């Protein structure tokens, strides 16, 4: 008994000494860091910015970790959070800059600008008696002046085509929704299409509304487009994935050194689920089939949804190997509004795959070069160029199909990237904003005629032809900026894609983004492959 008491006391003393040593070591590290900062501020040969010194120290520590742990200052944090929070505060207009003037593309429906009478085609030339037109003001500075706390008033001066006097509007700023779903429409009879741009706080609600809208239009099957979706909130991805699955189906799980293992499962009977008896072939069910579209820029939360649907044999994945981000970040808010996004865990798909691609700590440059390396290796254009180690082989949960981990999600059907799709001429015209600027001029000059002639989008889609004068204006403006076709062959190869893009841009400016994608997707190889697969079965 006495020996037991002595042993317990000794162990307790050892634990106390260990804890004390750890605390002492921690205090020494903090003193060392603070002494270095103090010495630099007091003794360095030039004046230093103390706040920037601290920020640089934080960035320096995080840069030595994984590529996704990062620091953002208060301004960066606000800009980063707005699309994920689902709203910002401002006057509520979609706009673009034309000839150094803000042109309203569309006021946000039921937003503060629409309520006071601002319409598409208006030019906002001044805010609070400060000119913003013709003064070479940056787009960021203009946005700063238009945005502001809810309830404050923006005093605007507006020039409207056909009215000689400058109009004045007092717009009371309000919360303006930022939508994460880019497009919802019927791709073909019975086939719905939803494109999710990112996973934000409002994505799940938007997704449910999109599903209901498409069901009312006769949707039986769904193409879920996650191309170029860079991710967002993990919980939003879990909620969306759950709508395809049965109650209790595993969607993803996370595991980290200091955070406990956690399973995320489908919480209820999904609104677009299939009965388990149809899982022998995801494409042979009578309805509620789903195809997910991904590419090399689909990452993080987009990979969670894709991985869950693939591993549960719920649907088919079409496209190219995804980005490969399998790390979970926790936002840590700092007192001044800045933020650290610290990696705390890996996430794993239901089959147990960690799809995080390899990286060397502190070498973000090589990590960022991965997409370029994929193009150089031929992976994006040739399926046979993809090589995955057998040690990364996994099986789906129901059909035991082979899938792979270790760097993105491999599609079930590979679709090569068409590197010749956009000619050099097209790329340079786009890069110099020649296409978008000339398109805005055309819509601005012909908006009322277009709205009168095409009373519905379907009418526009079937009968509108891009006028030669618009194409000529683009070619002419390009030549003024030193952008010329090297020969007639390059010009002829450019025209089909250019005219399709112009038609889509005009549709966007008259209607919205769903109409834009309805036109552009007719030339999207992944979308067309999905239609082929659904119709084939």
Catalytic residues: 300, 311, 325
**Residue that the structure tokens 């020649």 belong to:** 434
Which residue(s) pair with 22 in the sheet? none
**Residue that the structure tokens 């865990």 belong to:** 345
In this structure, what token pair is assigned to residue 467?
A: 């006028």
Phi, psi of 169 (to 5 degrees): -130, 135
In this structure, what token pair is assigned to residue 243?
A: 């709508």
Q: What sign results for the dihedral spanned by CA atoms 434, 437, 441, 447? A: positive
* Angle in degrees, CA 359, 360, 362, rounded to 5: 120
CA distance 504 to 498: 10
In this structure, what token pair is assigned to residue 256?
A: 């980290």
CA distance 310 to 410: 10
Please, which residues have CB within 8 angstroms of residue 36's CB and are 6 or more apart in sequence? Answer: none
CA distance 352 to 237: 18
Q: For residues 526 and 227, is the Cβ–Cβ distance under 8 A?
A: yes
Distances (CA, A) of 472 to 36, 447, 476: 63, 19, 6
């Amino acid at each position: 008994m006495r020996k037991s008491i002595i042993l317990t006391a000794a162990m307790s003393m050892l634990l106390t000494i260990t804890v004390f040593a750890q605390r002492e070591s921690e205090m020494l590290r903090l003193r060392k860091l603070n002494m270095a900062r103090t010495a630099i501020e007091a003794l360095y040969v030039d004046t230093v910015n103390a706040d920037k010194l601290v920020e640089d120290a934080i960035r320096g520590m995080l840069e030595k970790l994984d590529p996704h742990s990062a620091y953002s200052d208060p301004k960066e944090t606000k800009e980063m959070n707005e699309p994920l929070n689902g709203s910002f505060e401002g006057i509520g207009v979609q706009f673009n800059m034309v000839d150094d003037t803000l042109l309203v593309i569309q006021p946000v429906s039921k937003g503060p600008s629409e309520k006071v009478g601002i319409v598409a085609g208006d030019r906002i030339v001044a805010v609070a008696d400060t000119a913003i037109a013709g003064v070479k003001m940056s787009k960021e500075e203009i946005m700063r002046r238009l945005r502001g706390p809810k309830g404050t008033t923006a005093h605007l001066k507006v020039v409207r085509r056909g009215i000689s006097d400058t109009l004045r509007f007092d717009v009371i700023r309000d919360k303006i929704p930022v939508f994460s779903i880019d497009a919802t429409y019927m791709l073909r009879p019975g086939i719905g299409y939803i494109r999710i741009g990112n996973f934000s706080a409002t994505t799940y609600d938007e997704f449910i509304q999109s599903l209901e809208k498409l069901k009312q239009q006769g949707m039986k099957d769904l193409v879920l487009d996650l191309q170029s979706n860079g991710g967002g909130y993990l919980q939003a991805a879990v909620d969306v994935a759950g709508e395809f699955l049965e109650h209790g189906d595993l969607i993803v799980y996370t595991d980290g050194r200091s955070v406990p293992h956690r399973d995320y499962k489908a919480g209820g009977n999904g609104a677009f689920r299939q009965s388990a008896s149809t899982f022998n072939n995801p494409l042979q069910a009578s309805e509620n089939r789903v195809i997910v579209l991904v590419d090399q820029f689909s990452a993080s939360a987009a990979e969670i949804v894709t991985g869950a649907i693939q591993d549960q044999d719920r649907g088919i994945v079409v496209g190219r190997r995804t980005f490969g981000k399998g790390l979970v970040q926790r936002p840590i808010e700092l007192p001044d509004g800045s933020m650290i996004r610290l990696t705390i865990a890996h996430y794993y798909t239901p089959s147990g795959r960690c799809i995080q691609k390899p990286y060397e700590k502190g070498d973000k440059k090589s990590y960022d070069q991965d997409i370029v390396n994929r193009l150089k290796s031929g992976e994006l254009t040739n399926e046979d160029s993809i090589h995955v180690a057998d040690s990364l082989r996994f099986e789906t949960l129901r059909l035991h199909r082979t899938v792979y981990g270790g760097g993105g999600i491999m599609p079930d059907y590979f679709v090569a990237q068409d590197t010749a799709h956009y000619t050099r001429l097209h790329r340079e015209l786009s890069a110099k904003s020649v296409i978008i600027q000339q398109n805005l001029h055309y819509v601005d000059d012909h908006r009322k005629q277009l709205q009168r002639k095409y009373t519905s989008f379907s009418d526009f889609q079937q009968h509108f032809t891009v006028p030669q004068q618009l194409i000529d204006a683009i070619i002419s403006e390009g030549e003024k900026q030193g952008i010329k076709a090297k020969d007639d062959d390059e010009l002829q190869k450019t025209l089909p894609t250019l005219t399709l893009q112009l038609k889509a841009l005009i549709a966007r400016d008259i209607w919205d983004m769903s109409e834009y994608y309805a036109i552009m997707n007719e030339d999207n190889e992944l979308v067309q492959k999905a239609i082929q697969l659904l119709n084939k079965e």
